[in-house]
Structure 1
Amino acid sequence: MELSELIEVTRVRDAFMRKGPRPAQVGDICIFGHHLIFAPTTVGKEVPDNAEEFWLLHKAVDRVLYGFLHDYAFFYNSPFTILDDGWSAFDLEQEFARLMLSTDAFRISSVNENFAICPTYPEKLIVPKGIGDDYLKISATFREGGRFPVLSYFHKETKSPLVRCSQPLIGPTNRRCREDETILNSMITVNRGYIIDTRSKSSATAAKAKGGGAEPQGNYRQWRYIQCPIPRQREIHDALTRMVDVCSERKVTSDRWVSRVGQAGWLSSVAASLEAAANVAQCIYNERLEEVPVVIHGGDGLDSTLIASSLAQILLDADARTIRGFESVIEREWICGGHPFSLRNNHCAYAEGTVTGPFESPVFLVFLDAVHQMIAQYPMSFEFDENFLIFLFEHAYASEFGSFLGNCEKEKKDNGIRKKTVSLWSHVHHPENMKQFVNVCYDPTPGVIWPSIAPQCIKIWDRLFFRWQRPDNSWSTPETETIQSLADHWKLREKELIAKASSLRRSVVELSRELRVLSPM
């Protein structure tokens, strides 16, 4: 069934557009399977040449109530042949098999089967090997939302695990959970570990009064506690609103405009995210290359925790800076990690006022902007370019694919998203689509990268914030086009040489076989 078959009235005449991106005018509203179209008309007159149709995605329409299964992704028929099923591209079993090549200190647990322990975690998780499921169940009662400590990343060089969870529920009575302490202490071998809290000290103190809090030093003696605050979801939402307002009134020569950009708070949110990630990376990648476990949490572990854990992996691991590696980080940390995309991205990222609910916030966009800052400072270290980041930003809000649908894996399973929709990664992995995201100047940087968070180094993402004020072709210059042309030429030349080398190797193998046949016994 197509979504259009469920639409009872497809056209409403004489609608009045009172306010919007164009002057007030009368027109017809046409409703299609995935778009709402406003077609302007004039009474008794011809339609002016500049009166173009206004297309709007259903997702971008405010104050509309619809069932979850009516999302366009459930009705989308892929026009391309799926060569690589994105739903199976990132498998926990395969990830664990790669992990076993570096360490045997972890295991796969099915304690959350049928999402019985934690609704925002997937059913299978990687946990410390010596810890039984009974301890995990008790720890879940001690952590916000049942999000007990799970492995997020393992650094091969230092043998250091990166673990994430939610805040401990110590409350005003200083509640204690020895099973939770045992889980964390099981990861300590020689050196102390670090617990990194993405909340400010005041936020952590306020959380304790409400039943949450932070790990008491007396009960977690083998751990050092560090606070690396990242703005809360409401602060991020308000910062983006102010940033959009400022950028819509851009005056390059105005000192006041520059000051307003700083006061908006968006760039400082991005810088704080990078700083928290850098602190995580510095704990793991220490000068002596010693094993140092790191635990990250904020409040519920669904927002700032994921920002810090995912950005830290991109800093630490060159593989995370490839297209597939970056997708793996998003799939593991954000999609399977339980970031509530449907709640956070319920409306357009730029929506404000009473339209937006209390749970909406462009948290994922902060992550993407932080990655954009890395690309700006290390332009040759990433296999993808900013086109890929903008593509992901757009699809996180409105998409014909199911990857960002739902708030967690439980919702995906309950609504059959993985069976009834196409994965976004299936689209990206198609050769014809992949090439539009590839950085032609890519030259892998092994090891760790350290981007600067100095104010002068954190720049406005022009392609994002001024995207409606400049045409797409205005972003390119003669210089960039020349560089792109040269890069394309040498990339093509490289492929030709690789093909020639492969042909020569095959010839050598065939000649060797012939010589063995002709040579006497």
Structure 2
Amino acid sequence: MLAVEENPCGTVRSLPLRGLLNSCPAGVASCPASSCPFWSPLSPRPTLPEPVPLGPRAPAGRMEFSELIRTGRAQAELLSGPEEPPLRGTLCVTGHHLLLSPGPPSTADLWLLLLRSVDSIEKRVAGDSGTITLRCKDLRVLQLDIEGVEATLDIARSIEALSSLESVITSFPFFYRPKGLRLGDAWHFHPPECYYKRVAREVLLRSSQPLTGPQKRRCAEDEDLLRAVLAGAHPGARGFIVDTRSAQAAKQARMTGGGTEAKAAYPGWKRLHRPLERGRALQESFVRLVEACGDPEQSMDRWLSRLEGCRWLAHVKEALSTACLAAQGMEREGACILVHGAEGRDSTLLVTSLAQLILDPLSRTITGFQELVEREWIQAGHPFQLRCAHSAFSHARPKHEAPTFLLFLDCVWQLGRQFPLSLEFGEGLLLALFEHAYASPFGTFLCNSEKERCLCEVRTRTHSLWSGLNQLKEQRKLRNPLYVLNPLAIWPSVEPQSLRLWQGLFLRWTRPPESSEVAWEKVWQIVIEREKTEGSQPTAST
């Protein structure tokens, strides 16, 4: 069985495992210290960000929407990209969507945009009409030419208000009721015990930083826990603590109550610092990359200079290198690995989840990868509501925003490109996760913690993303038709010539060489025809 402990130092660690739930054992992420059985005055708990506003219950939310819609409809023309023809019709604003219904001559389908996916909005008027430019969180740029100046301004204000509502339970997932899905489906199909029992021979732990502080406090329970990890491994086992902060940053953390493990207090464990960017620096790198990708007029030299200057691929390299370090320690040296940064909810999860993909073949299946995302990101407390509040276009720059999960998806894409037969899923699943993490009709990525999801009743009042993605009609878009189970570890190259820009994401709306869906369909047709040919051939008699 999995043993999970939270010690008075404020860290959460478990053994033996490839991951753990970084939350209060009682399921309360911000319980008052006076009533927490794991708290003592000598070991303060970490300061957590402000909880997401829960807002009124859904019926009251419907009343609010009508107050925010200044103009319900107008005649407009939509320009959705250089390759797409303009679409003209009646534009409608609802509480959660922007709709465009084409006029009678057109046979096009209804165009629909989830307002939550709008990252920034620009408006300008000229004469008796106006233009609204919507920059979306999935990196699309849409232009709406609207008849009437007043209608343009009113629709722009409506979109601004409805796309930035803070209340969680008035968001679209609480209203979304698709056909063929039932509430509660696929919310509980990821029992972590099954995974931990399967990988119990290997020890990979994650936690937040120890709260040693300037007084260099010690925690006997934490020291006993890590001592037990080594004792439970093979004789002579060593342990490595992979700290995703620089040595200087870890030292400075002591002044605010954090710190690192003292060498004398943790015999058998060696600390390695592998700094990974987080927070604002990572967000700015993402923004500069998207800006470079959105400029089609620049020269090749200018493009390459901006690509290198944004340092996004450098972040990809550092993340994969650190994950390989952790994986090699377990696979080739039989060592126990503990990964932590500051809070254990960002770069820590990036490293542990990538290490599992490198080592564990079942994590490279569709079901296994869904379990990994659920276990290592959602249940582990990655604050999606804060980190993914905006994408690359917003003029606001809150300090809590960071595309850490997108960096993880990019690293997985690099693994799939270097090992095209070893991942059961393809680019389609990674793109879907990127889009749904920032704006989704499903409730999987809502809130910042299990406590908030419990308070909002997310699991009983919204649909799980996995139930939508696991429908048969969706599987063909997500599955890799060339997949062959590879029981071995996959070791990616991190040399500059081996890492590529993820064009399927960063360039798909600006310079698509060919629709990825069309290319994917062609591969599927080849595989199906080959299977039919092989099945029709007579077998040799024995």
TM-score normalised to structure 1 length: 0.74
Q: Does 1:393 align with 2:430?
A: no
Counterpart position of 2:71: 12
Alpha-carbon distance, 1:232 to partner: 1.4
Counterpart position of 1:214: 260
Match of 1:256 among 281, 290, 302: 302
* Contact 2:183/2:463, CA 8 A, preserved across alignment: no
Counterpart position of 2:405: 364
Counterpart position of 2:93: 31
Match of 2:117 among 43, 60, 67: 60
Structure with the largest fraction of helix: 1
TM-score normalised to structure 2 length: 0.71
Q: Does 1:70 align with 2:170?
A: yes
Q: Does 1:294 align with 2:337?
A: yes
Match of 1:167 among 209, 212, 218: 209
Provide the rounded CA distance (Å) in 1 between the counterparts of 2:294 and 2:479.
30
* Contact 2:75/2:91, CA 8 A, preserved across alignment: no
Q: Which residue identity does 1:457 align to in structure 2?
A: S
Q: Does 1:92 align with 2:204?
A: no
Residues 73-112 of structure 1: per-residue CA shift (max 9 Å, x gap): 010112124599211110234445x44xxxxxxxxxxxxx
Residues 106-132 of structure 1: per-residue CA shift (max 9 Å, x gap): xxxxxxxxxxxxxxxxxxxxxxxxxxx
Q: Does 1:265 align with 2:265?
A: no
SS at match of 1:435: helix
Alpha-carbon distance, 1:7 to partner: 2.9
Q: Which residue identity does 1:350 align to in structure 2?
A: A
* Contact 2:477/2:517, CA 8 A, preserved across alignment: no
CA distance 1:253–1:358, shift in 2 (3 Å): closer
Alpha-carbon distance, 1:476 to partner: 7.4
Alpha-carbon distance, 1:219 to partner: 1.1
SS at match of 2:316: helix
Alpha-carbon distance, 1:486 to partner: 2.0
* Contact 1:311/1:367, CA 8 A, preserved across alignment: yes
* Contact 1:193/1:222, CA 8 A, preserved across alignment: yes
* Contact 2:279/2:399, CA 8 A, preserved across alignment: no
Q: Which residue identity does 1:319 align to in structure 2?
A: L
Provide the rounded CA distance (Å) in 2 between the counterparts of 1:433 and 1:275.
33
Counterpart position of 2:11: none
Counterpart position of 1:518: none
Equivalenced residue count is 425
Provide the rounded CA distance (Å) in 1 between the counterparts of 2:382 and 2:92.
34
The 5 A counterparts of 1:31-430 are 31-37=93-99, 56-61=113-118, 64-81=164-181, 85-95=185-195, 98-99=197-198, 154=199, 159-189=201-231, 190-250=236-296, 254-286=300-332, 290=334, 292-347=335-390, 349-354=391-396, 356-430=397-471
Higher relative contact order (CA 8 A, sep 6+): 2
Provide the rounded CA distance (Å) in 2 between the counterparts of 1:440 and 1:285.
29
Q: Does 1:467 align with 2:508?
A: yes
Provide the rounded CA distance (Å) in 1 between the counterparts of 2:358 and 2:404.
19
Q: Which residue identity does 2:362 align to in structure 1?
A: D
Alpha-carbon distance, 1:440 to partner: 0.4
CA distance 1:72–1:14, shift in 2 (3 Å): closer
Q: Which residue identity does 1:8 align to in structure 2?
A: S
Q: Which residue identity does 1:87 align to in structure 2?
A: W
* Contact 2:72/2:93, CA 8 A, preserved across alignment: no
* Contact 1:273/1:308, CA 8 A, preserved across alignment: yes
Once the two structures are aligned, what percentage of the paired residues are identical? 37
CA distance 1:185–1:246, shift in 2 (3 Å): same
Q: Which runs of 5+ in 1 are unaligned?
A: 41-45, 100-153, 501-521
SS at match of 1:12: coil
Q: Which residue identity does 2:274 align to in structure 1?
A: C
CA distance 1:54–1:442, shift in 2 (3 Å): closer
Provide the alpha-carbon RMSD of the alignment: 3.5
CA distance 1:496–1:329, shift in 2 (3 Å): farther
Provide the rounded CA distance (Å) in 2 between the counterparts of 1:436 and 1:28.
31
Alpha-carbon distance, 1:210 to partner: 2.1
The 5 A counterparts of 1:410-489 are 410-470=451-511, 473-475=514-516, 483-489=523-529
Alpha-carbon distance, 1:248 to partner: 1.0
* Contact 2:244/2:347, CA 8 A, preserved across alignment: yes
SS at match of 1:184: helix
Provide the rounded CA distance (Å) in 1 between the counterparts of 2:293 and 2:304.
10
Provide the rounded CA distance (Å) in 1 between the counterparts of 2:278 and 2:371.
25
Q: Which runs of 5+ in 2 are unaligned?
A: 1-57, 82-88, 121-159
Residues 130-186 of structure 1: per-residue CA shift (max 9 Å, x gap): xxxxxxxxxxxxxxxxxxxxxxxx3x6xx2211100011112221111111111111
